[in-house]
């Protein structure tokens, strides 16, 4: 059976990066329990915990599946896990030691069980892990580039042939899902934000794009299937001529994502929407020109908001009313919402090898237009990874 495995040297590089950060932050170790960070550091998805010290080999404690973890992870010290007592017995006395723990990923119930057995001074390590993961290795960029290639083909070459007048958002979403799985999509979307969900694709047609979205993210998120599943597309809203159709897809390849939104239309759109879409293209390209090491995300965001206000889009740029979101782009990789974010208060400079999705959109009462593209931060500006064409695709 053919299987994918993360190379041992890649896992070692990641462990070394964490150990360097532990030393820099005067931490005596880290106990990792969150699924995405476990995968990042071990190469396997498991019900498990990983203990990493500033020096030496990490210890990987696996409840399920121990045998699968031994097949998929290159780590040398892998132990069966029945309870936190097993970890405590192995790592020894941690009294007085500063141990990193993922405060955003570990529930109070789990942290209570940990603290009863491991008497350490636990410190939040979420920002450290976010920083380590935001800078992509050549191995990771290879997977992201593959995802981008597959995504460009899906948006530009396949989806236009699926759109039909009179079909519902949900029907189009179902057709797209089949094509995604006919391709190389890995079928999973993950988020860092607690209790946030983001299935893919999202299809919104016409007035369906101007709704009260429950997702704390992209504007024009649509009503979805029902209150219990406000995702994918509505079974009631139909695609009409001369009305925008927004398709937003996270394309996953071996765990890594690219993010892309495309506006389609059966026939021409009203001039105000065409003009608004052109403004979004200009803003995307402007942001791309500034995706260089040293640029400040909050400054980029502020400058684009000023341009939107000057162009008359202040009240519907990135949504309307309470659904207007307060960001313009986000890091992406194993999760949809990685560091950094093009938003206020993100004042740390960009660094080379960060990957970011940029998504300027404008929401009218009649629907949403705009686009989203994924970029690699480079010395001479952002390198687009999933297709340069941002025009409205006419059917």
For all residues of the chain together, what is the average pLDDT?
94
Residues 6+ apart with CB under 8 A from 270: 242, 366
* Residue in the structure block whose two tokens are 């690219």: 258
Beta pairing partners, 168: 238
Q: How many CB atoms lie within 10 A of CB 244?
A: 29
* Residue in the structure block whose two tokens are 């190379």: 7
Residues of the chain under the 50 pLDDT cut: 1
349 in helix, strand or coil? coil
Question: For the chain, what are the domain ranges?
Answer: 8-132, 135-394
Render pLDDT for 9-31 as a digit per residue (tens, 0 to 9): 999 999 999 999 999 999 999 99
Render pLDDT for 273-288 as a digit per residue (tens, 0 to 9): 999 999 999 999 999 9
Residue 268: per-residue pLDDT: 97
Residue 392: per-residue pLDDT: 98
d(CA 332, CA 382) in angstroms, rounded, equals 14
d(CA 266, CA 163) in angstroms, rounded, equals 8
Per CATH, 8-132 and 135-394 having the same topology is answered no
Question: What's the fold here for domain 135-394?
Answer: Creatine Amidinohydrolase (3.90.230)
Q: Which CATH class is domain 8-132?
A: alpha beta
d(CA 395, CA 393) in angstroms, rounded, equals 6
Residue 211: per-residue pLDDT: 76
d(CA 151, CA 37) in angstroms, rounded, equals 25
> For residue 306, what is the enclosing H or E element?
helix 297-310
d(CA 165, CA 167) in angstroms, rounded, equals 6
């Amino acid at each position: 059976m053919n299987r994918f495995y993360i190379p041992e040297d890649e896992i070692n590089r990641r462990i070394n990066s964490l150990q360097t950060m532990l030393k820099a932050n005067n931490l005596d170790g880290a106990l990792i329990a969150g699924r995405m960070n476990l995968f990042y550091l071990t190469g396997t998805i498991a019900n498990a915990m990983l203990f990493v010290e500033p020096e030496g080999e990490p210890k990987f404690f696996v409840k399920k599946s121990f045998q699968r973890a031994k097949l998929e992870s290159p780590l040398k010290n892998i132990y069966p896990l029945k309870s936190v007592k097993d970890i405590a017995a192995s790592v020894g006395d941690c009294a007085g030691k500063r141990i990193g723990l993922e405060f955003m990923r570990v529930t109070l119930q789990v942290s209570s069980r940990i603290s009863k057995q491991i008497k350490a001074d636990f410190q939040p390590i979420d920002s450290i892990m976010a920083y380590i993961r935001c800078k992509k290795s050549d191995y990771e960029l290879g997977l992201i580039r593959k995802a981008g290639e597959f995504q460009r083909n899906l948006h530009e070459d396949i989806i236009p042939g699926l759109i039909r007048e009179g079909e519902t958002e949900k029907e189009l979403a179902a057709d797209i899902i089949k094509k995604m799985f006919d391709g190389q999509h890995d079928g999973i979307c993950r988020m860092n934000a607690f209790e946030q969900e983001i299935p893919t694709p999202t299809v919104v047609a016409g007035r369906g794009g101007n709704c009260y979205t429950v997702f704390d993210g992209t504007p024009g998120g649509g009503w979805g299937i029902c209150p219990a599943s406000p995702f994918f597309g509505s079974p009631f809203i139909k695609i009409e001529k001369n009305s925008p159709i927004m398709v937003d897809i996270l394309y996953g390849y071996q765990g890594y994502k690219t993010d892309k939104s495309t506006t389609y239309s059966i026939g021409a759109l009203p001039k105000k929407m065409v003009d608004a879409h052109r403004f979004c293209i200009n803003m995307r390209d402007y942001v791309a020109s500034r995706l260089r090491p040293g640029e400040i995300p909050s400054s980029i965001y502020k400058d684009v908001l000023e341009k939107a206000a000057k162009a008359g889009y202040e009240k519907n740029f990135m949504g309307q009313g309470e659904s207007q979101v307060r960001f313009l782009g986000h890091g992406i990789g194993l999760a949809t919402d990685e560091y950094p974010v093009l938003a206020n208060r993100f004042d740390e400079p960009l660094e080379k090898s960060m990957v970011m999705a940029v998504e300027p959109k404008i929401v009218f009462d009649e629907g949403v237009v705009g686009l989203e593209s994924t970029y690699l931060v480079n010395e001479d500006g952002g390198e687009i990874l999933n297709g340069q064409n941002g025009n409205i695709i006419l059917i």
